Each structure stands twice: as C-alpha cells, then as structure tokens.
Amino acid sequence: MGWLEDLFGIENSETTEMMEKDVVLDMLKDSKFALNTITMAITETTNSELREILKKQLTEVVQNHFRVVDFSVQNNWYLPHSAPIEQVKRDYEEAQNLT
C-alpha cells in the first residue's frame, strides 16, 4: 500500500498511482515557482543580511527540488531527457486515457 492508500483508504492502485503522480508533479511545479521567486528576491534585495538568508533558503529549495525530480523520474512521471515531441505524445496519450 502506498502512502495515499493509507491516508485515504483507497483500494484501486491505478487511481492511487495517478493521485501520487498528481501530487508529486504539483510539488515539482511549486518547487520551480519557489526557485524563481527566491532567485528574484535575491537579485532585488539591497540588504546583505537578507540576501544571505535568501541564499541559504535557495540552497535548501534546490536540494528539495532535486529530491522531488529524482523521485518523479524514478517513477517515470517526469521524463526531462525525452525529446520534446516524445513528451507531447506522452501527454496526449495520458490525456486520452482521462476520459
């Protein structure tokens, strides 16, 4: 049983895998947003103490981002090395399975 099955009591493993994938890809999106936001904040601040705090935060966010990327790649949910056309084909096929 996966962690979502335990949490929600879901029996269907296909549904659980899709939910886990959705959660992880959402975390990946949020991680990218955090990276962009912190990077912009570092470049915009004039306070050296705040800049150092943000640099430390950026390092932590980068490390967490790599963990989420590694997890999603291991589960074949995120394929950053695929050719763009292959990524589009895969997304299209997945969208066809939603109906």
Of the chain, the end-to-end C-alpha distance in Å amounts to 26
pLDDT given at position 89: 86
* pLDDT string in tens for the chain (99-residue length): 465 566 666 566 565 667 888 899 999 999 999 999 999 999 999 999 999 999 999 999 999 999 999 999 999 888 887 788 887 888 788 788 775
Closest CA to 77 of 13, 33, 11, 19: 19
The domain limits of the chain are 3-97
**What is the token pair recorded at 79?**
């394929």
Placement of tokens 């335990």 in the chain: 6
Tell me the pTM.
0.68
* CA distance linking residue 77 with residue 72, whole number of Å: 5
* CA distance linking residue 61 with residue 27, whole number of Å: 12
